Amino acid sequence: DAMVIQNPRYQVTQFGKPVTLSCSQTLNHNVMYWYQQKSSQAPKLLFHYYDKDFNNEADTPDNFQSRRPNTSFCFLDIRSPGLGDAAMYLCATTIFGGPNQPQHFGDGTRLSIL
Amino acid sequence: DQQVKQNSPSLSVQEGRISILNCDYTNSMFDYFLWYKKYPAEGPTFLISISSIKDKNEDGRFTVFLNKSAKHLSLHIVPSQPGDSAVYFCAASLTGGGNKLTFGTGTQLKVEL
């Protein structure tokens, strides 16, 4: 089945130690998104790609970076994680073609900071 | 500034009855609205959507109603089933916004036997 896969499902890192979360998709969608969701809060868009064109949200901290080496893969890098970065990170994909194209989500990576 | 609001964090309904989940928005530029369902330990999955040119969209047991003047939409599930127990997120987007979604905080629905 075509899908969006996030690895790992659970990630524990130390305060200040860089961490990378990955997302892959078999849907061949040209748009990929990264969201951060904290407990009882709405998913918050961090950035997204149209193909290789990177789009950062204005309030995304510089500590968060992303790479998309090809259509299928996208990575979220947190350069120096702080305690406030503990959250669920969701990857989503869609075909660019208007707001009626729903996003398809992975199951997320839960990041804990020690 | 929360542009999409789901003011009820939780809702409990008996099996077979109607579930009504509500959502309010503040940005009048939003012109497309979606509902996602999320089970524990899984990502959100798309459920149903509605364009601002409509006031109702129906898909089986699920119906979404849109009241543009009130900037309010609701999701009706009838009849409710235990498998509907999940968190429901309301989301909004706008034409020209690059498919970006603005989500509400979600409502936890529990359907009891």
CB contact under 8 Å between B89 and A42, yes or no, is yes
Predicted confidence (pLDDT) per residue in B90-102, tens digit: 999 988 777 889 9
**Mean predicted lDDT score pLDDT of chain B:** 95
pLDDT score at A36: 97
Predicted confidence (pLDDT) per residue in A82-107, tens digit: 999 999 999 999 988 777 789 999 99
pLDDT score at A2: 63
Q: Residue B37, CB half-sphere, CA atoms under 13 Å: how many? A: 14
Q: CA-CA distance, B85 to A94, in Å (whole number)?
A: 26
pLDDT score at A103: 93
pLDDT band at B18 (very low <50, low <70, confident <90, very high): very high
CB contact under 8 Å between B43 and A103, yes or no, is no
CB contact under 8 Å between A31 and B99, yes or no, is yes
Q: Which of residues 16-55 of B touch A (CB under 8 A)?
A: 31-32, 34, 36, 41-46, 49, 51
Q: CA-CA distance, B58 to B38, in Å (whole number)?
A: 20
Predicted confidence (pLDDT) per residue in A12-45, tens digit: 999 999 999 999 999 999 999 999 999 889 999 9
Question: In this prediction, what percent of chain B has a pLDDT beyond 70?
Answer: 100
B89 chain-A contacts, CB cut-off 8 A:
42-43
Per DSSP, A79 falls in state: S
B27 chain-A contacts, CB cut-off 8 A:
none
CA A50 to chain centre: 14
B32 chain-A contacts, CB cut-off 8 A:
99-100
